[in-house]
Chain A
Amino acid sequence: NAGVTQTPKFRVLKTGQSMTLLCAQDMNHEYMYWYRQDPGMGLRLIHYSVGEGTTAKGEVPDGYNVSRLKKQNFLLGLESAAPSQTSVYFCASWGPTSGGPWYFGPGTRLTVL
């Protein structure tokens, strides 16, 4: 049981390049989330999904797109990267158990030059 995994762990992009971050969970969780973490700002929700085939906007969705084609995977895309998207990105998942904790991946450190 690997929990929540993220690939890649690190990435450097040039402004305007695109990339996709992959999140995978093996706990059969319905809910999955993408957060970004910036110094002094805690974690801010980018997008989330309440089930396969569904997505919804979070607090800071601009410049990002997501897809949940399979229940176990949640992809975060940057179509045209900007320096303001330099951040650490965390994926999380949550199961149907009431009050159950969110499980977090180890993070992806992205730098946009």
Chain B
Amino acid sequence: AQSVTQLGSHVSVSEGALVLLRCNYSSSVPPYLFWYVQYPNQGLQLLLKYTSAATLVKGINGFEAEFKKSETSFHLTKPSAHMSDAAEYFCAVTPYSSASKIIFGSGTRLSIRP
């Protein structure tokens, strides 16, 4: 079975500071991993995905994530936060073998301080 844990339901950083959103997963089979972003009153938009190629994945808007199998982690980072990054971020997992379901974490709300 697959599961996702996002540490911290709310993260606040200053504009220009490093953004780090944490995601740990549990999967009995090799996983695909995703980060989605949700802006207020909108649907979910794909930020980036890991599908067993490079372990460091670059996404849109300057975000990237590193797949660490030994730590079962897929943390999302951005070197310098921008006010427009304020949103809710969801980590998600699905197994290679049967991508019929995707399991989401509970989400992390990112706030940016001026």
Contacts and interface: CB of A to CB of B under 8 A. Distances in A.
Contacts of B102: 33, 92, 94, 102
Given A99-B51, A101-B34, A31 B43 contact: no
Interface in B98-114: 99-107
Task: Bin chain B's interface residue count.
Answer: 20 to 34
Contact of A42 (B41, B49, B107): B107
A101 B51 CA distance: 10
B9 interface: yes
Nearest to B49: A101
A96 to B, nearest CB: 9
A61 interface: no
Nearest to B44: A104
Nearest to A58: B101
Given A48-B100, A50-B100, A40 B46 contact: no
Given A43-B90, A98-B51, A90 B43 contact: yes
A89 to B, nearest CB: 11
B68 to A, nearest CB: 19
